[in-house]
Structure 1
């Protein structure tokens, strides 16, 4: 399924820490022209017409991971203007934090995208000292500093 990037999209995404708070769950996405090694993306997705952003993040987690979100807390909103595959994208992203139940496995976890594709889920350390892959939306992680 092709994504229409000709308009601004509204998304709701989750920073989901593991039990000891050392890492958070992200999808590991395939290489692109802009990110030849791939990239990480927060869990979540589009807000549907008539749906609140808090309901959207809960629905996306349920659909993608077959999980629920405990202790959902709103952090803020970020604007994400980016390029992927040579195309410009523009998103307004409502960012939340909360714990996944059940949590993805340490190894071999996956999520299912709306188009049916299966993407690996990994635990990205909050201390990103040795992390090679970028995380998107990048500005979302700065919202944790205000908590």
Structure 2
């Protein structure tokens, strides 16, 4: 059994025409869907900004620019029956290749090699039954005026 730990995370909000780019996932136990922006763990020795650039490159194979910190969230949650605790640095950025914004979805890959589809979804897609995670992200995006 592993010792519980707080995981540092960096996520990036890509937004265009009232939509944001997210990965849809489901909790294996509850089967409840949720949506999370692109990003992942911050590795020892790298800044959260460096982590978000690396994670986007690893997951989507795309370079980004204009990376700016929007805020920090603390997330306490349960996934697959296990409690989790994350400190999340939330960034805004732009894709270097503007044609990415015209695609409805992008092929992506987790760090473990598992494929996923990143989709552009409108803000109205996120509900209590299918939330945008981590908790507090929707409110943060509203506060910094990224929500339409």
Q: Which TM-score tier does this pair reach, normalised by the shorter chain?
A: 0.7 to 0.9
Query: What are the within-5 Å matches in structure 2 for residues 1-147 of structure 1?
Result: 6-18=4-16, 20=17, 22-34=18-30, 36-102=31-97, 103=100, 105-107=103-105, 109-128=106-125, 133-147=130-144
Offset of 1:98 from its aligned partner? 1.5
> Cα distance, 1:128 vs. partner?
4.2
Q: Does the Cα contact within 8 Å between 2:13 and 2:93 map onto a contact in 1? A: yes
Cα distance in 1, alignment partners of residues 126 and 134 from structure 2: 18
Identify unmatched segments of 5+ residues in structure 1. Answer: none
What is the distance in 2 between the residues matched to 1:139 and 1:16?
Answer: 17
- Contact 1:39 / 1:135 at 8 angstroms: preserved in 2? yes
Equivalents in 1 of 2:47, 2:62: separation in Å?
A: 19
Could you list the structure 1 runs, at least 4 aligned residues long, displaced by more than 4 angstroms after superposition: 128-132
Conservation of the 8 A alpha-carbon contact between 1:76 and 1:95: yes
Q: Under a length normalisation based on structure 1, what TM-score does the superposition of the two structures give?
A: 0.84
Q: Measure the CA separation in 2 of the matches of 1:87 and 1:5.
A: 12
Matched residues, number: 140
**Residue segments in structure 2 that go unaligned for 5+ positions in a row:** none
